Amino acid sequence: MNAVPTVFVIDDDQAVRDAISLLLRADGLAVATFASATVFLESTSVQQPGCLVLDVRMPGMSGLDLQKQLRARGSRIPILFMTGHGDVPMAIRAMKAGAFDFLEKPFQGELLLERVREALVLDVRQRVRQARRAEAAARLALLSPREWEVLDRVAAGQYNKVIAAELGISLSTVEIHRKRVMEKLQAESLSDLIRTLALANERE
């Protein structure tokens, strides 16, 4: 998480790889280049924050295959595809599979830089959100079954009295459970509580 967001350029054409790397570095971005999708997948970079600038058509594992592999591993890193002439059907497949964007070779350097910056911002946002989601899930895991029952009903907007009657416990017991839940979830208010719950329940 503390690594510098990096642009991973993956293209089998050495000149293209080198030129794009230079272009991005000239703009002050951290760049790492890879000659094939396989080399990238096997490197530690695959865990790091940033974005991918990926050639759609490569020998061995294609750009589309790499996209599939990354998604299967749960990686949400944004992917900017580069396509050659006549690769439009592939580009469409890439977009359907959740690609960030695609650029047709040769492309304007300005456009690449702009899209790369947007991709990096998206990646940071996604990672922050993911971290918060993980944190919320971790806190919720601390709750006892009884506290869950109370939380469910509080979140549904029920009054303590109703909850006590439904669960067959005293009002003061409900209040104690409720206080514990607030503490465990580090919630200051009912809206904090509900936000944490919603965050944890969010689908990726």
Chain contacts with other proteins (rule: CB under 8 A): 12-13, 15-16, 18-20, 22-23, 25-27, 57-60, 62, 82, 84-86, 89, 105-110, 112
Choice between 84 and 98, CB closer to other proteins: 84
CB of 180 to other proteins, least distance (A): 53
52, 80 Cβ separation under 8 angstroms: yes
CB of 37 to other proteins, least distance (A): 12
Is 32 strand, coil or helix?
Answer: strand
Choice between 10 and 140, CB closer to other proteins: 10
- DSSP label at residue 12: S
33, 66 Cβ separation under 8 angstroms: no
CB of 116 to other proteins, least distance (A): 12
Distances 45 to 2, 3, 198 between C-alpha atoms, Å: 13, 10, 31
CB of 77 to other proteins, least distance (A): 22
**Beta bridge partner(s), residue 30:** 6
CB of 109 to other proteins, least distance (A): 3
Choice between 14 and 172, CB closer to other proteins: 14
Choice between 104 and 192, CB closer to other proteins: 104
126, 111 Cβ separation under 8 angstroms: no
> C-alpha angle 96/130/177, rounded to 5°?
130
Report the alpha-carbon distance of residue 100 to residue 64 in Å, rounded: 13
Choice between 33 and 196, CB closer to other proteins: 33
Report the chain's C-alpha Rg in angstroms. 24
